Amino acid sequence: MPLAYYIARRYLFAPKKHRAVNVISALSACGVALATVALVCTLSVFNGFQEMVAGFFTAFDPELKITARQGKTFLPADSCLEAVRRLPEVAVWSETLEENALLKYKDRQTVAVVKGVDERFEQLASIDSLLLGAGQFVLQDSVAAYAVPGVELMSSLGCGISFVDPLEVYAPRPGIRINPANPALGLHKGYLHASGLIFIVNQEEYDGRYVLTSLDFARRLFGQAGKVSAIELRLTPDADLRATQQRIQALAGPRFRVENRYEQQADVFRIMEIEKLISYLFLTFILVVACFNVVGSLSMLILEKRDDVQTLRSLGADNRLIRRIFWCEGGLIAVCGAVAGIGIGWLLCGLQQQFGLITLGGSGQFVTDAYPVSVHVADVALVFVTVVAVSCLSVWWPVRYLSRRLL
């Protein structure tokens, strides 16, 4: 055990001549611990929200999605894509076509995304967990095409779940300029009937903009015979997602993009990561302020231990050893505060997960009643390193200065 650490540990835990020094040291450790608790809990809340949002997207987005790098549509019968289709890791292959269109119901209208899906889409996504209504998930039969709108889109159109009049859908004809004098000539028009179902993802991007219908209807509406805008895949349970994604990308070639669920919603998760980083930086600044208490504690300790320092000098200790003792003292205060703060923060997060102690309020207006939390080991390690590093750096120069002036 290094001599400096041994003496610093004795100084930290041994009774002092002046009781105020013990109190100030304890308060310093408490200040570091409180800042650590704030870091652990805040980062865990951001993790909880991120996982909750990812859960919403998971129910609607496919495990892997193949899209064209250039252009909006492509032919799914491409030879390289056929090689992907034959992979044993691919459990479900679903073709989709989505594009913006104008939806009109009676005197209301709005721009929405019409997403045409094939009969395998129900196997691809956990669509049953999103549907609300008394109908069956049938998007087309020999008579008509049917619509499954998002709940907010239904509300904005004012059509209800089982609307009587069909939805009028307008989309530009490919390659034809719209004449302002007679815009109907440049538009495809279609009708979607009520399926008796709506879907709820609890994300405005989907609930307020998307309407599901059959792939055949979407192809006729947008004039894209035989084409798709994406191929959506579900893998077998034993498939490795990252390895399979890389393999599919190699087979598909540079003309196509293969994205997992997080990459499909990169903007959303990037914003959440930026918010998490900003919160981390602000709380680190608060930690720096809390470390000034450690400097005050060391100042008091240096004044009290003047006689002990003279004894150490008589025994052969040099200035470097003396400074190292008090620097270790500050490090021990930081480590004790960090360990205590991480333990308390982890306990509070566990209680929040189990009992939902802190609620969001709003009388059920939110998708969850309490703040979601998720403790990640990587975040805990980051917090510990941050607290120790900031504390040690903040006391290094004051210890060097005070030991030179007071000892």
Q: How far apart are CA 2 and CA 225, in angstroms?
A: 78
Q: Which of 263, 290, 313 is where one domain is finished?
A: 263
Same domain for 165 and 72, yes or no, is yes
Same domain for 230 and 338, yes or no, is no
Grouping H, G, I as helix, E, B as strand and the rest as coil, residue 361 is coil
User: What is residue 280's predicted lDDT score, i.e. its pLDDT?
Assistant: 96
Same domain for 300 and 231, yes or no, is no
Asked if residue 291 lies in contact with residue 395, where contact means CB atoms within 8 angstroms, the answer is yes
Q: How far apart are CA 84 and CA 61, in angstroms?
A: 19
Same domain for 30 and 109, yes or no, is no
Q: How far apart are CA 70 and CA 225, in angstroms?
A: 18
Give the DSSP letter of residue 238. T
Q: Burial, 88: exposed, middle or buried (Cβ in 10 Å; 0-12, 13-18, 19+)?
A: exposed
Grouping H, G, I as helix, E, B as strand and the rest as coil, residue 343 is helix
Same domain for 89 and 150, yes or no, is yes
Q: Which of 263, 283, 318 is where one domain is finished?
A: 263
Q: How far apart are CA 337 and CA 117, in angstroms?
A: 56
Taking residues 40-48, report their average pLDDT: 95
Which of 81-95, 115-129, 360-374 is most confident? 81-95
Sequence-distant (6+) residues with CB within 8 A of 374 are 44, 47, 48, 50, 51, 353
Same domain for 383 and 298, yes or no, is yes
DSSP H helical segments within 187-230, as ranges?
Answer: 204-207, 215-222
Same domain for 26 and 162, yes or no, is no
Residue 177 burial (CB count, 10 A): 9
Same domain for 291 and 362, yes or no, is yes
DSSP string, 73-110: -B-TT-HHHHHHHT-TTEEEEEEEEEEEEEEEETTEEE
Q: What is the per-residue pLDDT across 319-331, written as a single tens digit (0 to 9) for each?
A: 788 788 888 888 8
Identify the band that residue 402 occupies on the pLDDT scale cut at 50, 70 and 90.
low
Same domain for 184 and 198, yes or no, is yes
Same domain for 46 and 101, yes or no, is no
Asked if residue 171 lies in contact with residue 102, where contact means CB atoms within 8 angstroms, the answer is yes
Same domain for 72 and 198, yes or no, is yes
Query: What is the pTM assigned to this prediction?
Result: 0.79
Q: Which of 263, 293, 324 is where one domain is finished?
A: 263
Q: Note down the domain range covering 244.
A: 64-263
Question: What's the total number of domains in the chain?
Answer: 2
Q: How far apart are CA 104 and CA 378, in angstroms?
A: 50
Q: What is the per-residue pLDDT across 192-225, written as a single tens digit (0 to 9) for each?
A: 999 999 999 888 889 999 999 999 999 999 999 9
Same domain for 50 and 111, yes or no, is no
Q: How far apart are CA 380 and CA 109, in angstroms?
A: 50
Q: What is the per-residue pLDDT across 94-128, written as a single tens digit (0 to 9) for each?
A: 999 999 999 999 999 999 999 999 999 988 877 78
Taking residues 277-299, report their average pLDDT: 87
Q: How far apart are CA 145 and CA 300, in angstroms?
A: 81
Grouping H, G, I as helix, E, B as strand and the rest as coil, residue 146 is strand
